[in-house]
A and B are shown apart, each in its own frame.
Chain A
């Protein structure tokens, strides 16, 4: 079955440090890949997405993600974290099963804490 794994439930980094959030998926083909951010008490906001082409994708707020087919991964990175980046981050995949309609599957999220 299709699935999305975010192995890190919590991550703490110091302001100014680099960040990498991991995401692995299980699917027979290349899915549509997304990263969302959810600030406390807010809805989700799309950071970036990958469909095809260049495997390094640039997003908003200085984030980027790299699709690695061989590792079934789509890790999110930021070179220098700001205190305002503290939030929960969700990786999601869009898959089209051989039977049924399009499905959108979210990972369990990674909560980022930023130390001043």
Chain B
């Protein structure tokens, strides 16, 4: 158990809909990272927040957004969902702000299915 929690575990929704994925980092970790893992795209880094502020950005679509709240939990919002958004979404957390310097601890993921 990494100490990172993600809810829900599974999510099934229809195209065009909007969903919110939630992540609680390990106690004491200030950074939260979001990743998408799909069969055709592989594992992709989406975005990182550190202590409430956006710190690094990867291949995140404009339809997707994220935020980190004062209690350090984070939410990933996915809107206007398409079939291709079906994937496993991971959250990870680390103590510091530099993703290269601090080990990231991954949550179990949320499996999103868009029908």
Interface of A toward B, CB cutoff 8 Å: 32, 41-46, 49, 51, 90, 94, 100-109
Cα distance A45–B58 in the bound complex, in angstroms: 20
Shortest Cβ gap from A103 to chain B (Å): 6
Known: A90-B43, A101-B57, A105-B45. A43 touches B100 (CB 8 A): no
> Which residues of B sit under 8 angstroms from A108, Cβ to Cβ?
42
Shortest Cβ gap from A66 to chain B (Å): 19
Cα distance A90–B90 in the bound complex, in angstroms: 15
Taking a contact as CB atoms under 8 Å apart, the answer to whether A106 and B43 are in contact is yes
> Which residues of A sit under 8 angstroms from B103, Cβ to Cβ?
46, 49
- Chain B 71-112 interface mask (CB, 8 Å, partner A; 1/0): 000000000000000000010100000111101101111000
Contact among A41, A44, A49 for B106, CB-based, below 8 A? A44
Contact among A101, A102, A107, A109 for B100, CB-based, below 8 A? A102
> Which residues of A sit under 8 angstroms from B2, Cβ to Cβ?
43, 45
> Which residues of A sit under 8 angstroms from B58, Cβ to Cβ?
103-104
Shortest Cβ gap from B80 to chain A (Å): 25
Q: B113 at interface (Cβ–Cβ under 8 A)?
A: no
Cα distance A46–B93 in the bound complex, in angstroms: 12
Contact among B4, B99, B109 for A104, CB-based, below 8 A? B99
- Extra contacts, 6 of them, besides A90-B43, A100-B57 (Cβ < 8 A), are A41-B108, A43-B90, A43-B106, A44-B92, A44-B106, A103-B57
Cα distance A43–B23 in the bound complex, in angstroms: 13
Closest-by-CB residue of A relative to B58 is A103
Chosen A-B contacts, 5 in total, with CB atoms closer than 8 Å, are A43-B109, A46-B104, A94-B100, A103-B45, A105-B45
Taking a contact as CB atoms under 8 Å apart, the answer to whether A43 and B99 are in contact is no
Cα distance A106–B4 in the bound complex, in angstroms: 21
Shortest Cβ gap from B58 to chain A (Å): 6
Known: A32-B100, A102-B100, A104-B99. A43 touches B56 (CB 8 A): no
Known: A43-B107, A46-B104. A102 touches B42 (CB 8 A): no
- Chain B 1-12 interface mask (CB, 8 Å, partner A; 1/0): 010100000000
